[in-house]
Amino acid sequence: MDTIGLDLHKRESQLCIIGFGGEITERRIATTRERFTAVLLGKVRCRILLEASTESEWVARHLESLGHEVIVADPGFAPMYATRSKKVKTDKRDARTLADACLLGAYRATHRVSAYQRHVRGELLVRDALVRTRTRYVSLIKAVVRREGLRLSQGEPEHTQSKVEAIELREEVLKELAPILDLLSPLNREIDGADKRIEQLGRENPVVRCLMTAPGVGPVTALSFVAALDEVTRFSSAHQVESYLGLVPSEYSSGERQHRGRITKRGNARMRSLLVEAGWRILRSRKSECACLKSWALQIAARRGKRIAVVALARRLSGILYAMWRDGNEYRSPNARVEGPRVAA
């Protein structure tokens, strides 16, 4: 079986083919389905190694449809680049390094997300982009209003236009804000539509419905958590999930010296942000189901401050969500009383 290292790029990619007898062939081709088909269709089944990237999934699926074995590798796995020179970096050298790593087995394959979860992730990314755009618009409007010595009233961002109309602004200022105010209405409609689609996806998924019983967790957080992990069986413990989401402390230790720093912030940044937001909701909540987690976090806040307490709460919540998904159980507050069978007197 031939071994191929594929250094994938947006427009052109580099191939390094190592034949069964050790002969090496190098080619540079356009990153299109047509060119991959022209070069690799009809070729005896090959093992192809490429790094995980934006284009890697569609390329991998297309190469698999041509009958080849494809491995999408973790680019952060240092041993994969052991044969590459640090002084000179070219696409040819990178492709040769990937081919050598494939031949030696010096790689770590990444988890490839299912087609359904790719769709869910796409919906979540679009909603996130829309919300961030609205946040920037609202922040700009507030800044312009404050420049005039006024303030917008508190409330939801979708009511920004009516809040602007409720205060007395000069005609020149209203003309300045008119282009952004005109964009807010269609933007709000698109966000409402995205929320409805996400709620529908949540209702269709029993795991998401289960996770939504946890305090501070709504459809967006629950759906994002399921989309980020994809398969709960990939993880053997809650700590592994916490590490995967970048919520564990970094460590710089050597000999007798041990030092732990801030969280690693590796993995899905959006999921980590949603868990931190859920932590703030729990810390500020007065609901009884939040009491136990809130009490635990307040003890940390008394020693280390609220910010660290909220991150610790986000880490603990990720472990709770993992356990709920793994066991198929809805959330039950630790201080909830469990009534046993009544004994007749």
Ranges of each domain in the chain: 3-104, 115-204, 224-327
- How far, CA to CA in Å, does 251 sit from each of 121, 254, 257, 260, 300? 31, 10, 11, 4, 20
What's the token pair of residue 107?
């790689």
Q: Please give the pLDDT value at position 332.
A: 87
What pTM value is reported for the model? 0.85
For 133-144, write each residue's pLDDT tens digit. 999 999 999 999
Q: Please give the pLDDT value at position 20.
A: 85
DSSP state of 75: T
For 185-215, write each residue's pLDDT tens digit. 999 999 999 999 999 999 999 999 999 999 9
CB 49 within 8 A of CB 6: yes
Q: Is 267 left (phi over 0), alpha (psi -120 to 50) or beta?
A: left
Q: Please give the pLDDT value at position 344.
A: 39
CA 183 to chain centre: 28
Q: Is 141 left (phi over 0), alpha (psi -120 to 50) or beta?
A: alpha
Kindly report the CATH number that applies to the domain delimited by 3-104.
Answer: 3.30.420.140
What is the mean predicted confidence (pLDDT) over 249-264? 82
| Beta pairing partners, 70 | 48
Helix (H, G, I), strand (E, B) or coil at 73: strand
What is the mean predicted confidence (pLDDT) over 242-256? 87
Instruction: Spell out the alpha helix ranges (H) of the chain.
Output: 33-40, 56-65, 91-104, 115-147, 160-165, 171-204, 206-211, 219-229, 238-244, 269-284, 291-304, 306-327
Instruction: Give the C-alpha separation, 94 to 8, whole Å.
Output: 10
Instruction: Give the C-alpha separation, 198 to 182, whole Å.
Output: 26
Question: Taking Cα atoms as reference points, which of 106, 127, 121, 102 lies closest to residue 54?
Answer: 121
What is the signed CA dihedral for 9, 66, 15, 122, rounded to 10 degrees?
20
Contacts 24+ apart (CB under 8 A), 179-182: 180/137, 180/140, 180/141, 181/141
For 121-165, write each residue's pLDDT tens digit. 999 999 999 999 999 999 999 999 999 999 999 889 999 999 999
